[in-house]
Amino acid sequence: MNGESHGSGASRRALAVAGIGPYRSLSTFLASSTYARRQNEPGICDFTLGNPHQMPPQDYVEALRGAAVPHSDQWFAYKQSTPEAREAAAASLRGHLGIPFDPVDIHLTTGGFAAIALALKTIADPGDEVIYTLPPWFCYEPLVVEAGLVPVKVKARLETFDLDIDAIRAAITPRTRAVIVNSPNNPTGRIYPPVLLEELGAVLEKSSAATGRRIYIISDEPYNRIVFDGAHFHSPAEFYPYTLLAYSYGKTHLSPGQRLGYLALPSELPGREQLGEVITALQVAMGWIYPNAIMQYALPRLEEFSIDIGLLQRKRDRLAGALEEMGYRLIRPEGTFYLFVRSPVLDDEAFAGILAARDVFVLSGTMFETPGFFRISLTASEEMVERSLPAFAAAFDQAAALVG
Ligand code: PLP
Amino acid occupying residue 173: T
pLDDT score recorded for residue 4 = 54
Q: Is the CB of 50 under 6 A from ligand 1?
A: yes
pLDDT score recorded for residue 7 = 85
Atom 13 of ligand 1 has which residue's CA nearest to it?
112
Specify the ligand 1 atom closest to the Cα of 249. 15
Confidence of residue 185 (pLDDT cuts 50, 70, 90): very high
pLDDT score recorded for residue 5 = 57
Task: Average the pLDDT over 102-111 and give the result.
Answer: 98
Q: Tens digit of pLDDT for each residue in 31-52?
A: 999 999 999 999 999 999 999 9
Taking the centre of ligand 1 as the mean of its atom positions, its distance from the CA of residue 112, in whole angstroms, is 5
Closest by Cα among 58, 15, 61, 393 to 258: 61
Asked if the model's pLDDT at residue 85 lies above 60, the reply is yes
Report the alpha-carbon distance of residue 50 to residue 250 in Å, rounded.
10
Q: Are strands 243-248 and 261-264 parallel, antiparallel or unpaired?
A: antiparallel
**Mean predicted lDDT score pLDDT of the chain:** 96
Q: Are strands 261-264 and 106-109 parallel, antiparallel or unpaired?
A: antiparallel
| Spacing of C-alpha 361 from chain mean position | 20
* Secondary structure class of 240 (helix, strand, coil): coil
Asked if the model's pLDDT at residue 1 lies above 80, the reply is no
- Proportion of the chain above pLDDT 90, given as a percent: 96
Q: Tens digit of pLDDT for each residue in 271-310?
A: 999 999 999 999 999 999 999 999 999 999 999 999 999 9
* 364 bridge partner residues: 374
| 95: DSSP letter | H
Q: Is the CB of 186 under 6 A from ligand 1?
A: yes
Taking domain 33-57+308-403, whether its CATH number is 3.90.1150.10 is answered by yes
Q: Which of 120, 137, 295 to mutate to test the pocket of ligand 1 (most atoms within 8 A of CB)?
A: 137
Q: Are strands 338-342 and 373-377 parallel, antiparallel or unpaired?
A: antiparallel
pLDDT score recorded for residue 71 = 96
Amino acid occupying residue 215: I
Taking the centre of ligand 1 as the mean of its atom positions, its distance from the CA of residue 133, in whole angstroms, is 15
Task: Average the pLDDT over 359-388 and give the result.
Answer: 97
Asked if the model's pLDDT at residue 174 lies above 60, the reply is yes
Return the CATH architecture of domain 75-302: 3-Layer(aba) Sandwich (3.40)
Q: Tens digit of pLDDT for each residue in 192-224?
A: 999 999 999 999 999 999 999 999 999 999 999
Asked if the model's pLDDT at residue 6 lies above 80, the reply is no
Taking the centre of ligand 1 as the mean of its atom positions, its distance from the CA of residue 206, in whole angstroms, is 30
Asked if the model's pLDDT at residue 3 lies above 90, the reply is no
Contacts of residue 3, defined as CB under 8 A and 6 or more positions apart, other chains included, come to 9, 10, 11, 12, 15
pLDDT score recorded for residue 2 = 46
Report the alpha-carbon distance of residue 147 to residue 121 in Å, rounded.
6
**CATH 3.40.640.10 intervals, the chain:** 75-302
Task: Average the pLDDT over 133-149 and give the result.
Answer: 97
pLDDT score recorded for residue 22 = 87
**CATH 3.90.1150.10 intervals, the chain:** 33-57+308-403
Confidence of residue 402 (pLDDT cuts 50, 70, 90): confident
pLDDT score recorded for residue 403 = 79
Specify the ligand 1 atom closest to the Cα of 113. 16
Taking the centre of ligand 1 as the mean of its atom positions, its distance from the CA of residue 70, in whole angstroms, is 30
* Omega of the bond leading into 300 within 30 degrees of 0 (cis): no
DSSP string, 11-52: -HHHHHHHT-HHHHHHHHHHHHSHHHHHTT-TT-EE-SSS--
- Proportion of the chain above pLDDT 70, given as a percent: 98
Specify the ligand 1 atom closest to the Cα of 50. 8
Please report, for residues 2, 40, 307, 358, 374, the alpha-carbon distance to residue 348 in angstroms, rounded to integers and kept in the order given. 33, 24, 31, 15, 7
